[in-house]
Amino acid sequence: MEAIVSSFPVYFDYQVQFTHGLFTKENFLLAEVIQQSIARPSKLLFVVEQEVADSHPMLPTAINDYCQYHGLRQCGPVLFIAGGEAIKNDSRQLQQIYQAINEHSICRHSYIVAVGGGALLDMVGFAAATAHRGIRLIRVPTTVLAQADSGVGVKNAINYFNKKNFLGCFAPPYAVLNDFDFLSSLNLRDWRAGMAEAVKVALIKDAEFFYYLQQQAQALSQRDLPSMQHLIQRCAALHVAHISGNGDPFEFGSSRPLDFGHWAAHKLEHLTTHRLRHGEAVAIGLALDSTYSYLAGYLAQSDWQQILTTLQDLGFALYAPELSQQLENLDHPLNIFHGLREFQEHLGGELTIMLLEKIGQGKEVHAVDIAVFQQAIALLREQSCKQVPEILSN
Amino acid sequence: MEAIVSSFPVYFDYQVQFTHGLFTKENFLLAEVIQQSIARPSKLLFVVEQEVADSHPMLPTAINDYCQYHGLRQCGPVLFIAGGEAIKNDSRQLQQIYQAINEHSICRHSYIVAVGGGALLDMVGFAAATAHRGIRLIRVPTTVLAQADSGVGVKNAINYFNKKNFLGCFAPPYAVLNDFDFLSSLNLRDWRAGMAEAVKVALIKDAEFFYYLQQQAQALSQRDLPSMQHLIQRCAALHVAHISGNGDPFEFGSSRPLDFGHWAAHKLEHLTTHRLRHGEAVAIGLALDSTYSYLAGYLAQSDWQQILTTLQDLGFALYAPELSQQLENLDHPLNIFHGLREFQEHLGGELTIMLLEKIGQGKEVHAVDIAVFQQAIALLREQSCKQVPEILSN
């Protein structure tokens, strides 16, 4: 019998904007992003991370005043939600968002404005993507990591069965508004941790950007804001260009270049029960996969050394003891290499791991040699004994 | 500061196939649809509606045998889940699917094969769309309604806050395999109820198809299988063509032509606490909106009469007492016109209602006259007194 074939493109577009003082009255950015109709003003629901509100006590008032001044229809009071990865494990936070959407009749043409770090944006994004099959989401990332990386992409997720991002969907935001002023209230540890994804994307895509990071490493690590603004803009641009330009924004295939260093990072976050920040775990993952790339003969020694030095200059540790636990016992759930299997399972399809050929140029492989990885871990452990891992003492 | 603009298409495609004896060994359809790699056979998780399994007791064995014969990697035993709209209210069913996905390490390149009616497909589809950000879903619809309409589209959903489809997302299936043999076990009521969506799509898009339904109404109502196969194929083709061809498959805009008759239908399902099947409620919704179209001067009287007669010949009632309750009391939650507001809220944006200009040709309006709707309800009530609503006595 004759089959019906359905084939169609869906067009997505969104903008990532950079600003200061997003909620000051004279800043028209948010007001301009909202599609207003005079007959039926769009509704806005604001969700703000509690820690951000604590650091910026005038923020809720500023939001109210901003909406009033620009004629935006704010629904209900600002909703405060805790931040951090733990909220992605707890469905009550998600339900609180659904509740507000229902209570204020937030529809598919209304806006949810989420202000916070990556975990909050992930969780609110999942609520927005699944209520009424998708409400417009405006992300206002407040951390280096979220402004440069996680907040500018097309993913959202919560954790389930104790597995990171087990539930989620691909749903591009309506807009991302990066306000650099939020960075002033970050503690040093979060300031630094966010830079790991910039090193990652530089290593696989942009040698020039890597050399910028190398040269500015001390300044960046010491909270130089202009350097950080450049880091965020370049990292976000590379991330977004990858999504738009790689032909597989919703990851139907197996290739995942942006996950360079991430198989070990995800497992390390879990093994350290989040003692390590995501960025700190990524930095160790980058060190590990770069070292493997060197030992496997893909990467020149000088490139490898520059990578490790730059990571250290940015304030990152290159090693955590959890890398070595049960190292010979491959079947043990606390063995780091379990992360390879979990990584493959989450992504599906063939194992595909990004390694490095040179600075600025990745190389995908479909098989790895565990013995060489064990050697890489030994090298990093040795190296770490020579240096106090400053970032972990914060 | 310079903005980053991200703009990209995502390409989707899927096939809707028609067959008999899908799980007999000599049928290669399912085996051909699965992308097999010899190195790493794809996993399949089967979810079957309990009522379907009860009517086809050999089905689980047939599925096992089929997988074995065709070298498909079936994971775990077939999972049996109750069907019907009620399962969309109960998160335990959803969790059971997530549990199986986790237990059997079903990844983004694995397949979930869902066998059942529209509600089961909706719920399993939501699980598949949200686990690991999207697992491949093969729908095997077993009812007229699901084969012709709900099972061939791009939506999935569950209910929340007692609101139909409050949670969901747009996620095209990997494939839809319509096996006509499942229709033999439908009871007469479900057989008939499924035809309402065919009348709907014929009325707004295809006059010739409407005249086919008019001419075959008695045969269709008396379970003539060849007529029904034609109905399903044509209805599915029109539905899919609309999704692929209208330029807005994920409904970012406000236009929703396929929702002709549905604002009242959704509300009636709720008001009758699902005494009415979805298709039965849609038939009443079609009668109501056609009558309004006639009274408002859009639709010729002869067209209007042919519509009502055809619906009745197909075995549909044109009226339910819940249409009239609290009819003058517009603020009462049991008033049918609350459905207009709920419809708008779910879809978002401007109120957009599809009416009829003539048979085969819809007409969108953005405002309606409640007094004319009240008159339409009175007319349908009058008409219904002249005829025993056979379908409700089943």
What's the Cα-to-Cα distance from B100 to each of A143, A346, B73, B81, rounded to whole Å?
36, 14, 15, 12
Residue A206 has pLDDT above 60, yes or no: yes
Which one of A2, A5, A8 would you mutate to disrupt binding with B, by most B Cβ within 10 Å of its Cβ?
Answer: A8
CA A392 from chain centre, in angstroms, equals 20
Inspect the interface and report whether the beta carbons of A155 and B133 lie closer than 8 Å: yes
Q: How far apart are alpha carbons A164 and B135 in whole angstroms?
A: 16
pLDDT at A280: 97
Inspect the interface and report whether the beta carbons of B133 and A108 lie closer than 8 Å: no
Q: How far B171 CA lies from chain A's nearest CA (Å)? A: 9
Local confidence band at A392 (pLDDT 50, 70, 90 cut-offs): very low
Residues of A with CB below 8 A from B164's CB?
A: none
Inspect the interface and report whether the beta carbons of A108 and B9 lie closer than 8 Å: no
- The dihedral over CA atoms of A66, A70, A76, A82, expressed in degrees to the nearest 10, equals -40
Residue A330 has pLDDT above 70, yes or no: yes
Inspect the interface and report whether the beta carbons of B10 and A249 lie closer than 8 Å: yes
Which one of A4, A99, A154 would you mutate to disrupt binding with B, by most B Cβ within 10 Å of its Cβ?
Answer: A4
Q: What phi, psi does A145 have (nearest 5°)?
A: -60, -45
Across chain B, which has 394 residues, the per-10-residue mean pLDDT values are 93 97 97 76 94 96 96 95 91 96 93 97 98 97 97 96 91 98 96 97 98 98 97 97 90 84 93 92 98 98 98 97 91 88 74 95 94 96 71 44
What does the pLDDT average to over A7-31? Answer: 97
Per residue in A354-381, pLDDT tens? Answer: 999 999 999 999 999 999 999 999 999 9
pLDDT at B35: 75
Q: How far apart are alpha carbons A380 and A149 in whole angstroms?
A: 26
Tokens coding B291: 């009558």
The answer to whether the beta carbons of residues A315 and A280 sit under 8 Å apart is: no
The answer to whether the beta carbons of residues B35 and B42 sit under 8 Å apart is: yes
Average pLDDT score, chain B: 93
pLDDT at A39: 59
What does the pLDDT average to over A51-57? Answer: 97
| Eight-state DSSP code of residue B76 | S
- Give the contacts of B33 (CB within 8 A, at least 6 positions apart): B15, B17, B138, B174, B175, B177
Percent of chain A's residues with pLDDT above 90: 81
What does the pLDDT average to over A134-151? Answer: 97
The answer to whether the beta carbons of residues A47 and A114 sit under 8 Å apart is: yes
pLDDT at A340: 87
Strand partners, B112: B45, B137
pLDDT at B260: 95
CA angle A107/A109/A114 to nearest 5° reads 80
Q: How far A124 CA lies from chain B's nearest CA (Å)? A: 14
Inspect the interface and report whether the beta carbons of B152 and A4 lie closer than 8 Å: yes
Q: Tell me if the pTM is above 0.80.
A: yes
How many contacts, defined by CB atoms under 8 Å, are there between A and B?
198
Per residue in B127-179, pLDDT tens? Answer: 999 999 999 999 999 999 999 999 999 999 999 998 889 999 999 999 999 99
pLDDT at A351: 85
Residues of B with CB below 8 A from A4's CB?
A: 15-16, 152, 233, 236-237, 240
Q: How far A364 CA lies from chain B's nearest CA (Å)? A: 19
The answer to whether the beta carbons of residues B4 and A18 sit under 8 Å apart is: no
Burial class of residue A71, CB neighbours in 10 A (0-12, 13-18, 19+): exposed
- The answer to which of A30-39, A240-249, B113-122 has the lowest mean pLDDT is A30-39
What's the Cα-to-Cα distance from A26 to each of A36, A153, B183, rounded to whole Å?
18, 28, 64
Residues of B with CB below 8 A from A133's CB?
A: 155, 157, 165, 168-170, 250-251
Inspect the interface and report whether the beta carbons of A172 and B16 lie closer than 8 Å: no
Residues of B with CB below 8 A from A237's CB?
A: 4
Q: How far apart are alpha carbons A27 and A18 in whole angstroms?
A: 12
Residue A272 has pLDDT above 50, yes or no: yes
Q: How far apart are alpha carbons A80 and A60 in whole angstroms?
A: 10
Tokens coding B188: 């007469």
One-character DSSP codes across B215-270: HTHHHHHTT-HHHHHHHHHHHHHHHHHHHHHSS-TT--SS--GGGTTHHHHHHHHH
Q: Of A128, A94, A87, A106, whose CA–CA distance to A45 is shortest?
A: A106
Inspect the interface and report whether the beta carbons of A346 and B14 lie closer than 8 Å: no
Residues of A with CB below 8 A from B246's CB?
A: none
Q: How far B186 CA lies from chain A's nearest CA (Å)? A: 22
Average pLDDT score, chain A: 93
- The answer to which of A83-92, A174-183, B291-300 has the lowest mean pLDDT is A83-92
Question: Which of A131, A167, A171 is opposite residue B166, by nearest beta carbon?
Answer: A131
Tell me the torsion sign for CA atoms B183, B189, B190, B196.
positive
Q: How far B342 CA lies from chain A's nearest CA (Å)? A: 9
Strand B4-19, strand A4-19: pairing: antiparallel
Burial code (b: 16+ CB inside 10 Å, e: under 16) for B270-289 equals bbbeeebbbbbbbbbbbbbb
Q: What is the ipTM of this complex?
A: 0.92
H/E run at residue A289: helix A278-295
Percent of chain B's residues with pLDDT above 70: 96
Inspect the interface and report whether the beta carbons of A109 and B254 lie closer than 8 Å: yes
Cα first-last separation, chain A: 68
